[in-house]
Amino acid sequence: MVGLTSITFLGHATLRIEIDGVTLLTDPILRTFAYGLVHRQPVQDVQQMVGNVDDVLISHLHRDHLDMASLHRLPSTVEIVVPKGGAQVVKRSGFERVRELAVGERHDVHGVQVLATHAAHNGFRAPFGPMAECLGFVVEGSQRIYFAGDTDIFDGMAEIGPLDVALLPIAGWGPKLGPGHMGPTQAVQAIELLRPRIVVPIHWGSLVPVGMHLRTWSYLTHPPINFAQLTRQAHPHVEVRVLEPGQTLDLVT
């Protein structure tokens, strides 16, 4: 049976994934200003574009990935999947359907499987905690889609592939990347382990500290260009799809 899978990039690590009749939303940042950061390219009709959501997948508790104000723009009945140790943070904000996943655990969403994978990142929610795991997610249906969240390269990546699509972070919101992140070069190395057909770079160019948003900095705009060039050289068989916020990648099975 021919079906349509679509992946819409909404900026930073926020993606709308439609697969086999199920709609998932990752790490939603659905507002222009959040925690001293400005969204450079906010999708104007983001609420309409998000639409109905079955589950929200939260990779870790950092505030540019778990934003309570953005979650409150979604129906209170939506199910929110969080890393082990993160449920109480979301429940305290009024959400009742919260499910914790540990690395290696699966969650069924109307027949689509969501597998929690390791992520090499720090899971502390500043300034007072808690500490929770950091996850990536493999969405398994008619396609295998890997959402990496925030992570550095780790050996277990080789066990995640092969994939139809890898959604890989290639930058951040500041001019320097700390531990637990990948730049373009590291993300190209990750492709070797993950073995995807298609790669969509994420976590680049969207969020910037207030004040710095008044200029277009090279660290915001160059990473996807560099990543695409390096990938074509190292992995010419892998298709790179650079999406601007609001753009969609459609896959036919």
Residue 230 has pLDDT above 80, yes or no: yes
Delineate the domains of the chain, giving CATH numbers in brackets. Answer: 4-243 (3.60.15.10)
Stated as kind and residue range, the H or E segment containing 68 is: helix 68-71
Distance CA 123, CA 115 (A): 18
What are 171-216's pLDDT values in tens digits?
999 988 989 999 999 999 999 999 999 999 999 999 999 988 878 8
Cα–Cα–Cα angle for 41, 47, 53, rounded to 5 degrees: 120
3-state secondary structure of 251: strand
Query: What pLDDT sits at residue 2?
Result: 47
What integer pLDDT is reported at residue 77 of this predicted model?
Answer: 84
Q: What's the rounded Cα separation, in Å, for the pair 214 and 27? A: 25
C-alpha span between 126 and 67 (Å, rounded): 12
* Beta partners for residue 5, in sequence order: 251
What CA–CA distance (Å, rounded) separates 11 from 30? 9
Interatomic CA distance for residues 200 and 198, integer angstroms = 7
Q: How many Cβ atoms are within 10 Å of 65's Cβ, its own excluded? A: 22
Between the two ends of the chain, the Cα-to-Cα distance in Å is 8
CA distance 136 to 235: 23
pLDDT on residue 15: 97
What residue has token string 């969204």? Answer: 39
Between residues 150 and 216, the one the model is more confident about: 150
> Measured between alpha carbons, how far is 152 from 223 in angstroms, rounded to an integer?
16
Q: What type of residue is 183?
A: G
Q: What percent of the chain has pLDDT over 90?
A: 85
How many whole angstroms separate alpha carbon 130 and alpha carbon 119? Answer: 17
pLDDT of residue 1: 39
Instruction: Give tens-digit pLDDT for 99-141.
Output: 999 999 999 999 999 999 999 999 999 999 999 999 999 999 9
pTM: 0.96
How do residues 16-36 score in pLDDT, each as one tens digit? 999 999 999 999 999 999 999
How high is the pLDDT of residue 248?
A: 96
